[in-house]
Amino acid sequence: MQNERYDAIIVGAGHNGLVCANYLARKGLRTLVIERRKMVGGAAVTEELWPGIKVSTASYVCSLLDRQIIKELELAKYGFVFIGKEPQSFTPMLNGEHLFLYGDMKDTKKEISRFSRHDAKAYERYDRYLTGIVEAMDPILKQSPPDIGSMASLAKFGLLNRRLVRKAQDFVDVMSLSVKDFLDRWFESDELKASLATDGIVGAMAAPSTPGTAYILLHHVMGNIEGRGRWGYVQGGMGSVSEALAKSAKSRGVKIMTDAPVDRILVEGGRAVGVVVGKRTYRAGIIVSNAEPKRTFLEMVGEDKLGENFLWKVKNYQTRSSSFKINMLLNGLPDFECYPNKTELPEPQHKGSIYMCEDFEYMERAFDDAKYGMPSRNPVISMFIPSSVDKTLAPNGTYVAGCFVQYAPYKLKGTDWNRENSKFIKSTISTIRKYAPNIDDILVNVQGLSPVDLESRFGLTGGNIFHGDMTPDQLFFSRFSYGTPVKGLYLCGSGTHPGGGVSGLPGFNAAKYILRNIRKI
Ligand SMILES: Cc1cc2nc3c(=O)[nH]c(=O)nc-3n(C[C@H](O)[C@H](O)[C@H](O)COP(=O)(O)OP(=O)(O)OC[C@H]3O[C@@H](n4cnc5c(N)ncnc54)[C@H](O)[C@@H]3O)c2cc1C
């Protein structure tokens, strides 16, 4: 058995692992990143699914990636280019109506007023309200959560975050309300509520009426790359974020190994001292796991190394999922019955997120199927066509499109995803056909990733896209801490605060925590 020594070893080259590696290396730590897949990026990757066609196979849009990280790690220099979405979204309706939401408030209000003058007015206040909460929360996104058992720690947190304390009522509302109750407080139009509500259920095994889903919506408006809550694409696909982070890390001397699954995290005398990859052992004083917490502790560390209480937390940590990702190659663009294509393709209806779900009742019924262990017969679909704005993904005349589809429960009753995968793709396509009847004519190739595929391909336990449910009982101080009960072992992935999404913040916070622990800052 061969030994290699580093100051820090990071298990997993997801974007958070790479951010963490960068910040550790900036302080002079000899850092090794070890990734099980052949490529870096975890759920932020671009893969050549079909010859010459680049696809963001998992995550597909960007907003949460932190500006400080982009700047300090010089991601633009290493190829990161953000392409803002405009319009932000397009919602076709079966009654022949449609709704665009734009980055620009005036245009959006004008569009909403076609449905409700009340909602057009309310939308501006709603936007200010959400922005107010998010800006008050902003500082805590880059803080380690306080120790809930310590008055001193809580008092310090309160003093540091007076703005958030003043917004406590709003914050409690958003944490506890369902996205349905939350939006019903503000708006009357089904078209608008359907367009906004999908952000509250994305990635969750929850209905719009499930308490706590309003927070998932808030999580989606926290980003501030180019304007608060605005989303966009990344040139070359989401893998360009990870590639840029990897290049930045390498420029700081970080060594990255791919195609190297870590079998075990070595714990000796209660301390993490290294990792085992096949027949090789790599040693370091600091071991950081970017992998999801259950996978980290139950598979790599081992139950016998953990105390009873902590093991209870790990075992009861929820990683439910009901998301299904469909990646498509098209040789034309969808022609929506309610908003037909003209001549100059692509047009605005192709450039933003395209939401296909009629209203809350439609979403609730979609969830009802999932609740009883069945894929939704009429699923909720977010479609997007990144190559409508990014020509680097597919040759002229062809388009890369994706659908993020809810609900597809990880555990099915009386069947399994081997049998259901192609059926679910078919039922998604037949739903799209109701809005855009030309879908069959333009579809060249398709890949469907069930929650079980998301687990095996990306290492996402239970297929959960956020490394664990983003429910109030698993957020902030109730998520996993960067430090662990095993000395020298840390976590830096989305199972830590502030959770999932391509933000880089868990990796950033973990690096700060580790460096403070070893007194480098
Ligand atoms: C289908 C889908 C769509 C999404 N859409 C969006 C979106 O549009 N926008 C957005 O912001 N977020 C989106 N998300 C969420 C977001 O992509 C994730 O929350 C985020 O990428 C997780 O990053 P991470 O670095 O914490 O973990 P990961 O990306 O999961 O990285 C963990 C890494 O650890 C590696 N690993 C695990 N075990 C081992 C081992 N034993 N040895 C070595 N390596 C190991 C894994 O292979 C992986 O590379 C989506 C996720 C999915 C799955």
Is residue 161 in a domain?
yes
- Number of folded domains that form the chain: 2
Residues 6+ apart with CB under 8 A from 234: 56, 62, 80, 81, 82, 83, 240, 241
Residue 520 in this model has a pLDDT that exceeds 70: no
Mean pLDDT of 63-91: 97
Q: Which two tokens stand for residue 521?
A: 């800052």
Given CA atoms 166, 169, 172, 174 in this order, what sign does their dihedral have?
negative
Q: What band does 1 get if pLDDT is binned at 50, 70 and 90? A: very low
- Using CA atoms, how far residue 112 sits from 50, 60, 84, in Å, is 40, 26, 21
Is residue 78 in a domain?
no
Pocket test for ligand 1, best of 22, 502, 503 (most atoms within 8 A of CB): 502
Residues 192 and 105 in one domain: yes
Residues 228 and 243 in one domain: no
Residues 380 and 395 in one domain: yes
Cα of 465 from ligand 1 centre, angstroms: 7
Domain that holds residue 159: 83-236+320-458
Cα of 464 from ligand 1 centre, angstroms: 9
Residues 115 and 190 in one domain: yes
Is residue 220 in a domain?
yes
Average model confidence (pLDDT) for the chain?
Answer: 95
Cα of 280 from ligand 1 centre, angstroms: 25
Dihedral, CA of residue 92, residue 96, residue 97 and residue 102, to nearest 10: 40
Q: Whose CA is nearest to atom 30 of ligand 1?
A: 42
Residues 35 and 96 in one domain: no
Mean pLDDT of 441-470: 97
Q: Which atom of ligand 1 is nearest to the CA of 300?
A: 41
Residues 328 and 439 in one domain: yes
- Using CA atoms, how far residue 20 sits from 13, 69, 114, in Å, is 10, 10, 47
Give the count of beta carbons closer than 10 Å to the beta carbon of residue 360. Answer: 20
d(CA 88, CA 430): 25
Is residue 59 in a domain?
no
Residues 221 and 254 in one domain: no
Residues 349 and 213 in one domain: yes
Residues 230 and 242 in one domain: no
Residue type, 134: V
Q: Whose CA is nearest to atom 37 of ligand 1?
A: 291
Q: Whose CA is nearest to atom 31 of ligand 1?
A: 14
d(CA 364, CA 399): 32
Cα of 158 from ligand 1 centre, angstroms: 32
Residue 521: the pLDDT is 59
- DSSP code per residue over 321-369: --EEEEEEEESS---BTTB---SSSS-HHHHSEEEE---HHHHHHHHHH
Residue 3 in this model has a pLDDT that exceeds 80: no
Nearest in space to 252 (alpha carbons), one of 13, 20, 4: 20
Q: How far is CA 70 from the centre of its chain?
A: 17
Q: What band does 52 get if pLDDT is binned at 50, 70 and 90? A: very high
Is residue 416 in a domain?
yes
d(CA 14, CA 291): 8
Q: Which atom of ligand 1 is nearest to the CA of 325?
A: 1
Is residue 432 in a domain?
yes
Q: Which atom of ligand 1 is nearest to the CA of 19?
A: 25
Pocket test for ligand 1, best of 18, 20, 34, 36 (most atoms within 8 A of CB): 36
Q: Within 6 Å (CB) of ligand 1, which residues are found? A: 11-17, 34-37, 42-44, 58-61, 64, 261-262, 290-291, 295, 300, 323, 325, 404, 454, 458-460, 465-467, 493-494, 500-502, 506
**pLDDT (tens digit, 9 = 90+) per residue, 119-139?**
999 999 999 999 999 999 999
Residues 198 and 272 in one domain: no
Q: Which atom of ligand 1 is nearest to the CA of 223?
A: 11
Mean pLDDT of 218-231: 90
Is there a contact between 479 and 144 (Cβ–Cβ < 8 Å)?
no
Cα of 13 from ligand 1 centre, angstroms: 9
Q: Whose CA is nearest to atom 34 of ligand 1?
A: 12
Cα of 329 from ligand 1 centre, angstroms: 23
Residues 10 and 111 in one domain: no
Is residue 68 in a domain?
no
Residues across the chain? 521
Cα of 458 from ligand 1 centre, angstroms: 6
Is residue 250 in a domain?
yes
Cα of 44 from ligand 1 centre, angstroms: 6
0.85 cut: is pTM over it? yes
Q: Which two tokens stand for residue 377?
A: 């017969």
Cα of 497 from ligand 1 centre, angstroms: 15
Residue 166 in this model has a pLDDT that exceeds 70: yes
d(CA 437, CA 424): 18
User: Looking at residue 303, which CATH number applies to its domain?
Assistant: 3.50.50.60
Residue 375: the pLDDT is 97
Give whichever of 147-151, 367-371, 475-479 has the largest mean pLDDT: 367-371
Q: Whose CA is nearest to atom 36 of ligand 1?
A: 12
Q: Whose CA is nearest to atom 7 of ligand 1?
A: 59
Q: What band does 320 get if pLDDT is binned at 50, 70 and 90? A: very high
Residues 193 and 331 in one domain: yes
Is there a contact between 424 and 450 (Cβ–Cβ < 8 Å)?
yes
Residues 6+ apart with CB under 8 A from 167: 132, 133, 136
Q: Which atom of ligand 1 is nearest to the CA of 495?
A: 26
Residue 344 in this model has a pLDDT that exceeds 80: no
d(CA 167, CA 132): 8
Is there a contact between 156 and 122 (Cβ–Cβ < 8 Å)?
no
